[in-house]
Amino acid sequence: MHLGVDSFVSAVEDPRTGHVVGPAERMAHLLEEIALADRAGLYSFGIGEHHRAEYYDSAPPVILAAAAARTERIRLGSAVKVLSADDPVRVFQQFATLDLISGGRIDLVVGRGSFTEAFPLFGLDLADYDSLFEEKLDLLLRLRDSVEVTWSGRHRPPLNHQSVYPRPVQDPLPIWVGVGGTPESFARAGLLGLPLMVAIIGGEPRQFAPLIDLYRRAGAHAGHAPETLQVGLHVFGYVGESVQAAADTIYPGWHRMFTAVSRERGFAPPTRAQFDATSGPDGAFFMGDPETVAAKIRRVAEQVGGVDRLSLQMTNPLLAHEDLLRGIELLGTEVAPLVADV
């Protein structure tokens, strides 16, 4: 199994000093985090995409280009690229260019996103939520598989024998589908034979086993080889010196972050009991000392029938930069060797 880190480039307040980290300083910190992940031996680092005040990741290709110039080995990618709200031609060109800059280290993970602010921002109708993604994914795959493309659809002007450049180093450019919990999304990824990145932000990871099995069965039915049907997990987590230290470090920012989301979506405010349950052996958070996190990764991989890649999303508005650096270091130097044979 390969381990990595995903970041939403959250706005941060230092919990010890109260210093509010500005956008420029936060970007500098982010590039330090990615460089450390590279040195620590982690497999990948992904950047999300949001269009909200609390996140600085609205332009992931720009961030990834800066990261590519500062790293040597680590794979870089989106986590996820909101394909529904963008032009597939520009997305392909941007990530093909990134692949050239990085020397063939790019993964493009596309999805619909868990927030909807991109739709009104770019003049899109939420009623087209499903059709936008399905149509744009179809075009993106055609652009990847052929230099010259003829295509037409509802949401974009047609292409008539038009060529798209540049072409990436990797042939084909790896395109993953990011999914939440809808069976249709899992089945579609399987039928297309695309790698699957499952976002698990609540509940119990083992509950996703039937959906991942659906993905594999759909892929097999469509004639895709089992080795092409890769499964990745995007999860919240943090690695500390001990279970208690990890919990104490993460909880304040977790509470602030999920209180805001719960208020926005009309949910009950989060509690410490919910946090403890979610961080427990069967919960969605992968948190604790290296041995605890590694044991959970092994257990969950077995529960869902195997996992090829797992990325910890450590974004937290009250996580100090030095604590995040230490978490990344522990994940790469202590957790990764414990799960390398999974």
Phi, psi of 188 (to 5 degrees): -60, -45
Write the CATH number for 154.
3.20.20.30
pTM beyond cutoff 0.85: yes
For residue 265, what pLDDT is reported? 85
- For 270-290, the pLDDT digits (tens) are 999 999 999 999 999 999 999
Q: Which residue has the tokens 């199994």?
A: 1
Verify cis geometry, omega within 30 degrees of 0, for the bond prior to 80. Answer: yes
Q: What is the DSSP letter of 222?
A: T
The parent domain of residue 240 ranges over 2-338
Q: Measured at the alpha carbon of residue 60, what is the angle toward residues 63 and 130, in degrees to the nearest 5? A: 175
d(CA 229, CA 279): 29
Nearest to 63 by CA among 35, 83, 86: 35
- Whole-angstrom distance, CA of residue 7 vs CA of residue 77: 11
- Does the pLDDT at position 113 exceed 90? no
**145: helix, strand or coil:** helix
- Tens digit of pLDDT for each residue in 150-179? 999 999 999 999 999 999 999 999 999 999
Summarised one tens digit per residue, pLDDT across range 178-218 is 999 899 999 999 999 999 999 998 899 999 999 999 999 99
Identify residue 193 by its one-letter amino acid code. Answer: G
Total domains, the chain: 1
The neighbouring-strand residues paired with 237 are 286
